[in-house]
C-alpha cells in the first residue's frame, strides 16, 4: 500500500511513526508536480535550499533539462511536426538520461533528489494528448517510485491567469495546438490544462500523489510543504555530507553528474 493510501487507512500517528523509522539506505526521492502556474518550481527550489542548509546531500533536477536530448527536442518543437507519441518518447529519453547520470547515482550514495516533475507529468501531459497510460508507465518503468510526490493544486483559472498575463501569445505545444481542438491558442490551452488537471486529480484519488494546497503566499505554501515532509519522511535518516569530500562539494553546488565525477577520478 502506498503512502497516500496509508494516510487514509491507518490510525492517526501510526503513519508518522512507521515512516520516521524508515532508514533511507537507498537515498530519498522527493517529487514535485503541478499544473503550469502552480508555483511548484519555486517550492522545489526552496525545498532544495532548505535541505541543503541542513547539511544534507541533495540534488535538484528539472523536467526536460538533459543537454543530450535538448537539440532534438528544440528541433522537433520548431518544426511543429511532433506527434503525441513522439513527443512522449523524446521526454522519456530526456528523463532516462538524467535518471542514469544524476538521479540514480545520487540515490545510490544515500543522497536526496528533488525532481521538479517526474513520470506523473508524462502521465498527465501525454495522457491528455491521448497516449495510453500503460505505454507511459512501461516507458518509465526503469525508474523507482518516489518516496513522496507533492502535487501543487490550484484552480485552473488561477494557473491560466498567471501564465497568460502579460504574454501576447502561447507556444505551439504549450497551448496544445498540435491537437487541433480549436484555432484559438488560449482556448486550446484551457482545454489542455483541464485534461491535465483531471489526470492529476485521478492520481490523487488513487493515492499515488499527495495534494498540496498551492493557494496563498510563497511562505504559506512552503510551510505546508515542510509540514508534509515532516509527516512522510525522516530527514534525520540521511547521513550529512562530509565537508571535506570533493563529491560532497559537487552535490552542494547541485552540479552532480556521476559521469563527470568518474572522469575526474580517472
Residue-wise pLDDT for 140-186, tens only, equals: 999 999 999 999 999 988 988 998 887 888 999 999 999 999 999 99
- The pLDDT-based confidence of 218 (bands split at 50, 70, 90) is very high
Alpha-carbon span 176 to 190, nearest angstrom: 9
Task: Taking residues 221-234, report their average pLDDT.
Answer: 93
Cell of 54: 541542513
Which of 140-154, 233-247, 252-266 ranks highest by mean pLDDT? 140-154
Alpha-carbon span 243 to 199, nearest angstrom: 43
Residue-wise pLDDT for 95-129, tens only, equals: 999 999 999 999 998 899 999 999 999 999 999 99
Residue given cell 518543437 in the structure block: 77
Residues in the chain: 266
Strand residues in the chain grouped as ranges (E): 28-34, 58-62, 112-116, 148-153, 210-213
Which range is least confidently modeled, 51-65, 159-173, 203-217? 159-173
- pLDDT exceeds cutoff 60 at 238: yes
Question: What class is the 29-255 domain?
Answer: alpha beta
Cell of 152: 501543487
What's the longest Cα–Cα distance across the chain? 58
Chain mean pLDDT for the chain: 83
Cβ atoms of 210 and 194 closer than 8 Å: no
DSSP assignment string, 136-199: HHHHTTTSPPPSEEEEEE--HHHHHHHHHTT-S---TTTTTGGG-S-S-HHHHHHHHHHHHHHH
* Signed CA dihedral, 37, 178, 75, 67: sign only: positive
Q: Is 183 helix (H, G, I), strand (E, B) or coil?
A: coil
Alpha-carbon span 220 to 214, nearest angstrom: 9
Alpha-carbon span 218 to 100, nearest angstrom: 32
- pLDDT exceeds cutoff 70 at 260: no
Sheet holding 58-62, edge to edge: 58-62, 112-116, 28-34, 148-153, 210-213
Amino acid at each position: 500500500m502506498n503512502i497516500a493510501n496509508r494516510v487514509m487507512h491507518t490510525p492517526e500517528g501510526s503513519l508518522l511513526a512507521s515512516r520516521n523509522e524508515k532508514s533511507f539506505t537507498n537515498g530519498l526521492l522527493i517529487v514535485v508536480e503541478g499544473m503550469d502556474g502552480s508555483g511548484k518550481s519555486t517550492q522545489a527550489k526552496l525545498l532544495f535550499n532548505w535541505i541543503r542548509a541542513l547539511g544534507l546531500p541533495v540534488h535538484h533536477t528539472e523536467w526536460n533539462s538533459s543537454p543530450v536530448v535538448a537539440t532534438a527536442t528544440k528541433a522537433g518543437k520548431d518544426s511543429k511536426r511532433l506527434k503525441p507519441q513522439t513527443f512522449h518518447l523524446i521526454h522519456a529519453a530526456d528523463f532516462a538520461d538524467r535518471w542514469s547520470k544524476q538521479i540514480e547515482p545520487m540515490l545510490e550514495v544515500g543522497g536526496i533528489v528533488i525532481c521538479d516533475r517526474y513520470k506523473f507529468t508524462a502521465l498527465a501531459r501525454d495522457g491528455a494528448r491521448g497516449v495510453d497510460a500503460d505505454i507511459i508507465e512501461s516507458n518509465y518503468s526503469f525508474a523507482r517510485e518516489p518516496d513522496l510526490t507533492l502535487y501543487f493544486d490550484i484552480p485552473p483559472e488561477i494557473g491560466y491567469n498567471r501564465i497568460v498575463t502579460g504574454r501576447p501569445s502561447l507556444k505551439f505545444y504549450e497551448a496544445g495546438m498540435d491537437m487541433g481542438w480549436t484555432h484559438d491558442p488560449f482556448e486550446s490551452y484551457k482545454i489542455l490544462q483541464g485534461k491535465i488537471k483531471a489526470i492529476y486529480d485521478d492520481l490523487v484519488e488513487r493515492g499515488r500523489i499527495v495534494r498540496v494546497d498551492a493557494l496563498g503566499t510563497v511562505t504559506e505554501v512552503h510551510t505546508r510543504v515542510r509540514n508534509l515532509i515532516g509527516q512522510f519522511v525522516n530527514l534525520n535518516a540521511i547521513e550529512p555530507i562530509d565537508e571535506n569530500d570533493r563529491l560532497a562539494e559537487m552535490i552542494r553546488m547541485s552540479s552532480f553528474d556521476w559521469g563527470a565525477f568518474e572522469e575526474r577520478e580517472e
